[in-house]
Amino acid sequence: MDYRPLGRTGISVSQLCLGAMMFGAFGNPDHDESIRIIHKALDAGINFIDTADGYSAGESELIVSKALAGGRRESVVLAVKFGIPFGEGPNHSGASRRWITEAVEGSLRRLQTDWIDLYQVGVPDPTTDIDETLSALSDLVHAGKIRSFGASKVPASEIVEAQWTAERRGHERFRTEQPPYSLLTRAIEYDVLPTCLRHGMGVLTYSPLAGGWLSGKYRMGWEVSGPGSAARAQRSGVYDSTNPANAAKLDAADALGALADEAGMTLPAVTSAIIGPRTMEHLDTYLAADGIDLPSDLLDRIDQIVPPGVTINVADNNWNFGTPALSAAFRRR
């Protein structure tokens, strides 16, 4: 397993990050099996785990805590997201100082740890001043409860605004960005990746399988049945083959699948990504991608199917302030 610098934090992380979204009720409800998957990933050299308080209402954090017991925590870089609604009440979500202060204590308690290496705003919050968010997160760094912090699904213009605000106000700054990125979702190549590079930010990409579209299940002439996990099954519209945008994704996924078959590979050959296995078999497939370097001619053929900087279905960029409902509410303010 190769290790890379996490932006300019001085922390080194494995090029594959173990995403814990599928551990718990929304994915694999078997705690013992989930723990075995985590242990196998760690034994394979992965030292980076990403979870969130909203994954199965905190159950994912509890499973990760069990897996890291017995001295494993010290060798793991632990990333945690917050921001989606957690519990009852209008103030149990977002990126306000009030919720950040409460949410971090809950995550620390469930994870049974004294610190979080990377604490991330999982959903952009347009109702909270960025100065308020940066101030609260900076205080957590100074208190030693988190080592650094980042964000997720933020467009390049807002990344720049946050960096400017941190410098102007004397706050700690966002050290990472976590966007969706796959062979079907390449919009971040246009401006997000160059912006992060200029500001020395690490990039944790998620959904390398494009929500399952690149798993090999979706090929021309096959029935589009949707994902196996309960969490993704709730988003049935994402897999509606009558949607023109999904039809275009199916065309691209089929072409990429044929290219992978020709090259003797399974999709995807992606590195530096958050992987989200639900089963041990899924993990084995992801680990098989470690160390693969694609030749230039193969990369050129991929670019012919999905050009650089292009996302087949723009909704997959997830830059609509978290959810469609929140986006609509924001537009109507």
| Catalytic residue of the set 55, 206, 218, 286 | 55
3-state secondary structure of 171: coil
Q: Count CB neighbours of 69 within 10 A.
A: 11
* Nearest alpha-carbon partner for 152 in 209, 86, 204, 79: 204
User: What is the rounded CA–CA span in Å between residue 117 and residue 36?
Assistant: 23
Secondary structure element (H or E) that encloses residue 50, with its range: strand 48-52
Contacts 24+ apart (CB under 8 A), 71-78: 72/42, 73/113, 75/42, 75/47, 76/42, 76/47, 76/48, 76/49, 77/6, 77/11, 77/13, 77/47, 77/48, 77/49, 77/117, 77/118, 78/49, 78/51, 78/111, 78/113, 78/116, 78/117, 78/118
Cis omega (within 30 of 0) for bond into 268: yes
Tokens in use for 15? 């090029």
Beta carbons of 267 and 218 less than 8 angstroms apart: no
Q: Count CB neighbours of 190 within 10 A.
A: 14
* Nearest alpha-carbon partner for 77 in 142, 24, 17: 17
Our answer to whether residue 55 is catalytic in this structure is yes
Beta carbons of 330 and 126 less than 8 angstroms apart: yes
How far is Cα of residue 100 from the mean position of the Cα atoms in its chain? 19
* Nearest alpha-carbon partner for 58 in 20, 91, 94: 20
User: What is the rounded CA–CA span in Å between residue 156 and residue 233?
Assistant: 30
In the block, which residue shows the tokens 């993990």? 283
Beta carbons of 172 and 166 less than 8 angstroms apart: yes
Catalytic positions: 55
